[in-house]
Structure 1
Amino acid sequence: MSVATAPTTLDVSNTPAVPFGRLVRVELRKLADTRAGRWLLISIAALTLLVLIIQLSVVLGQGLHPKFLDFLQGMNTPMGVLLPVLGVLSVTSEWSQRTAMVTFTLEPSRVRVVAAKFVSILVISVLALVIGLILGSLANVVYGALSGDTVVWGSPAKYAAFYLLLYVFGMATGFAFGALFLNSPAGIVAYFVYSFVFPGLFEIAASLMDWFAKLQPWIDFNNDQNDLIDATIHGRGWAHLIVAGLIWLVVPLAIGIWRIRRAEVK
């Protein structure tokens, strides 16, 4: 007569968690490992350099007198458009490439994975700022050397802080849309609609309706960030930025994290 034996179970209670720093390094590597991410990073750097070269050529050819802030604003054109796309791709990669099963098996805590992804885009924002400041400074010095004019620096520390916020907001908003849709094309399209379609609609509505003109600064997160680009934000502008950021950044991000925690892994 055979004796029934109890099924054995695998005790993983004492298994150490994956260090958070390692998760961040993995997520940073993912941004450059894929073909889309790698070429997007290359495109951002190349277009930023190209824009500054064109801007430098124009100001020298037309005898203009730019300041350091003018070069930072020129640098923001490609970075402000393309960095958020990287933010979208950073959070949709598992779901678009069907690698979520592997990721969440190696690290079961989805919140930790999302947090690592978010920290990775903050790191990219800092790196983008450093590269932009170096290129902008170089353009300003070259302008002074070739034109013979006095180089105007203004307040570089204040500009750096404002542009860091600008890049963080851009990448975080892209990240939020990516988390909300969990699909790369949908997240990118939604971000571009928010960036290029809604501001125009808001302007039209504000010109036609006085009550909406008073409401617009509180809901137009994209437009509110223009004061960061110009380094003129103050007082009420910060209040507008915070309220609009809650609508377009915090709410989509919260819903997106809720979706990620409950989405079926395939």
Structure 2
Amino acid sequence: MTATTHPAVPAFSGPGIPLSRLVKVEFRKLVDTRASFWLAASIAIISVIIGVVTLFVAASSPDATALRNEFEMMTAPMAFLLPVMAILLVTSEWSQRSALATFTMEPRRERVIEAKLIVAIVASIIAVVIAFVLAAVFTGIGGLIYSDPEAGSWSISGGALASGVLNILLGVLVGFAFAALFLNTPAAIVTYFIIPMVLGIVGGLIPWTRDHLIDWIQTPTLPSDPEGADWAHLLVSTLIWFVVPMFFGVNRIMRSEIK
């Protein structure tokens, strides 16, 4: 009796899905759920509301519509909401059980992580550009409404502009790293917001930690006019808040069993 033999099926050796296509898919995922869509919409809505409020405030405080103040206020809600968008971009794969489909179509998990990271960074830059444009629009309106030279002032330092953009990007990167580490939306969001609050409380209760430690371990931020020590603080805090959790988070994604 002869055994029936079947020809071996050759392994797929194609070039794989291009990174540009993965980035397009991840951009679509960024707003294709109800939570992420309304989160993105709320950023734009809140920015417009802030601009309108500054026009009324400028009646008693003319510099409220100065470009430097408009930009600072426009980016404030973004610093709070954009990291949450980055978290949802990563954790939604696991909370909605779509990771199996994603990693089946693209087995190279590092490529998916890379695409998500690119989307998070690009979306943040787009949001900051929109904030700057809106700030410029309301600055111009303030200059037309009020005659005070402080109203509608276009002066803004390069340091203030650069630190605003960098702080937004750092917040998004930290949120992304926490999402990769926990792969759970509530855990990542709570950890992202609770730890800085705890550090602030500790710094308020223990003066030594406020004077010698908190600046090194707080969430990475850069003041408008950074000095040498500020850059050192930024480097160490970025290592603690982004590099370390991102390293372990990527390893967890690469090794996690998909169910």
Alpha-carbon deviations, 1:144-183, whole Å to 9, x = none? Answer: 1111123322236544332221111111111111111101
Task: Quote the residue 2:53 is aligned against.
Answer: 54
Q: Does 1:214 align with 2:215?
A: no
> How big is the shift at 1:140?
1.1
CA gap of 1:211–1:57, structure 2 versus 1, over 3 A, is closer
2:91–2:183 CA contact under 8 A, matched in 1: yes
1:205–1:213 CA contact under 8 A, matched in 2: no
CA gap of 1:211–1:87, structure 2 versus 1, over 3 A, is closer
What secondary structure, in the 3-state scheme, does the structure 2 residue paired with 1:12 have? coil
- Superposed CA RMSD in Å reads 1.8
Q: Tell me the percent identity.
A: 39
In the alignment, the residues of structure 2 paired with residue 262 and residue 108 of structure 1 have an alpha-carbon distance, to the nearest angstrom, of: 12
In the alignment, the residues of structure 1 paired with residue 209 and residue 92 of structure 2 have an alpha-carbon distance, to the nearest angstrom, of: 42
CA gap of 1:47–1:211, structure 2 versus 1, over 3 A, is closer
Q: Which of 250, 262, 265 is the aligned partner of 2:258?
A: 265
In the alignment, the residues of structure 2 paired with residue 81 and residue 3 of structure 1 have an alpha-carbon distance, to the nearest angstrom, of: 66
Q: Which of 231, 242, 245 is the aligned partner of 1:249?
A: 242
In structure 2, stretches of 5+ residues that fail to align are none
Q: Does 1:232 align with 2:225?
A: yes
Task: Quote the residue 1:65 is aligned against.
Answer: 63
Alpha-carbon deviations, 1:90-122, whole Å to 9, x = none? Answer: 111110100111000111011110010000011
Q: Does 1:201 align with 2:201?
A: yes
Q: Does 1:11 align with 2:4?
A: no
CA gap of 1:64–1:149, structure 2 versus 1, over 3 A, is closer
Which contiguous aligned blocks of 4+ residues in structure 1 show a shift greater than 6 angstroms? Answer: none
In structure 1, stretches of 5+ residues that fail to align are none
> How big is the shift at 1:24?
0.8
In the alignment, the residues of structure 1 paired with residue 87 and residue 180 of structure 2 have an alpha-carbon distance, to the nearest angstrom, of: 8
What secondary structure, in the 3-state scheme, does the structure 2 residue paired with 1:176 have? helix
Structure 1 stretch displaced more, 125-134 or 233-242: 233-242
In the alignment, the residues of structure 2 paired with residue 185 and residue 122 of structure 1 have an alpha-carbon distance, to the nearest angstrom, of: 22
Matches within 5 A, 1:145-224: 145-150=144-149, 151-155=152-156, 157-195=158-196, 197-207=197-207, 210=208, 213-221=211-219
> How big is the shift at 1:142?
1.2
Q: How many residues align?
A: 256
What secondary structure, in the 3-state scheme, does the structure 2 residue paired with 1:91 have? helix
CA gap of 1:211–1:80, structure 2 versus 1, over 3 A, is closer
What secondary structure, in the 3-state scheme, does the structure 1 residue paired with 2:155 have? coil
In the alignment, the residues of structure 1 paired with residue 68 and residue 61 of structure 2 have an alpha-carbon distance, to the nearest angstrom, of: 17
TM-score by length of 2: 0.92
In the alignment, the residues of structure 2 paired with residue 256 and residue 82 of structure 1 have an alpha-carbon distance, to the nearest angstrom, of: 21
What secondary structure, in the 3-state scheme, does the structure 1 residue paired with 2:80 have? helix
> How big is the shift at 1:226?
5.7
CA gap of 1:34–1:64, structure 2 versus 1, over 3 A, is same
Task: Specify the code of the residue in structure 1 equivalent to 2:165.
Answer: L
Q: Does 1:120 align with 2:113?
A: no
